[in-house]
Amino acid sequence: MRVFGIAGWSGSGKTTLIEALIPRLCAGGWRVSLVKHAHHGFDLDRPGKDSHRLREAGAHQVLLGSPRRWALMQELRDQPEPGLEEHLARLGPCELVLVEGYKRAAIPRLEVHRPALGHPLLYPADPHIVAVASDIPLACPLPCLDLASPDAIAAFIRSHFASHHAATAAPPRRGP
């Protein structure tokens, strides 16, 4: 499973970029999944609905299904928050998982950087950043991509995995 993170300060455009990348990566034949970390609590359910009432009654998991989608909700109660690896294990087969958040995970990631926001680059403090996408050119030793060019960023992500696979693949066997 290919896993690639999108990192950046709040308000830098991470979600907007991911929204533009998904259809481009899917158009190339990849099934793309997403794991997004929410720092604050969230609820997909609404108070008063049956599934919400049953969770509140103590159900450990509630799977809500319909003809178009399904969602599995699990109450952690006093359990620790699962890490990225645990969430990845729950996903179905796909060619790529994009990850927003989980900044401590050891996965390759692209930094979304907008200098006008006044924040420093996350690179080089984050050794897992392999490229930076920005709205202005930057002096950076990593590949610097134009944030306004999601086609180029999608191509970079594809080539990252192609070159990584080529670099780690066993050399071809020669002779008997």
Q: Which has more pLDDT, 48 or 121?
A: 121
Amino acid making up residue 8: G
Residue 154, H or E segment: helix 150-168
Phi, psi angles (nearest 5°) of residue 28: -85, 5
State what percent of residues in the chain have pLDDT above 90.
68
Mean pLDDT of 136-146: 96
Mean pLDDT of 88-112: 96
pLDDT (tens digit per residue) in 20-43: 999 999 998 999 999 999 877 777
Q: Decide if pLDDT at 171 tops 50.
A: no
Q: How much is the pLDDT for 175?
A: 43
What does the alpha-carbon distance between residue 96 and residue 113 come to, in Å, rounded to a whole number? Answer: 23
Which of the listed ranges 42-46, 76-80, 149-153, 167-171 does the model predict with the highest average pLDDT? 149-153
Q: How much is the pLDDT for 151?
A: 98
Q: How much is the pLDDT for 172?
A: 42
Q: What is the set of domains in the chain, with CATH numbers?
A: 2-41+82-168 (3.40.50.300)
Q: How much is the pLDDT for 100?
A: 97
pLDDT (tens digit per residue) in 114-132: 999 999 999 999 999 999 9
Bridge partner residues of 32 (DSSP) = 96
pTM metric for this prediction: 0.86
Q: Which has more pLDDT, 73 or 159?
A: 159
Rounded CA Rg of the chain: 19
The b-or-e profile of 78-93 (16+ CB within 10 A means b, else e) is eeeeeebeebbeeeee
Which range among 26-40, 77-91, 129-143, 154-168 shows the weakest confidence by mean pLDDT?
154-168
Q: Which has more pLDDT, 172 or 50?
A: 50
Return the SS3 of 34: strand
Q: Identify which of 144, 39, 46 has the alpha carbon closest to the alpha carbon of residue 102.
A: 39
Which of the listed ranges 10-19, 44-53, 60-69 does the model predict with the highest average pLDDT? 10-19
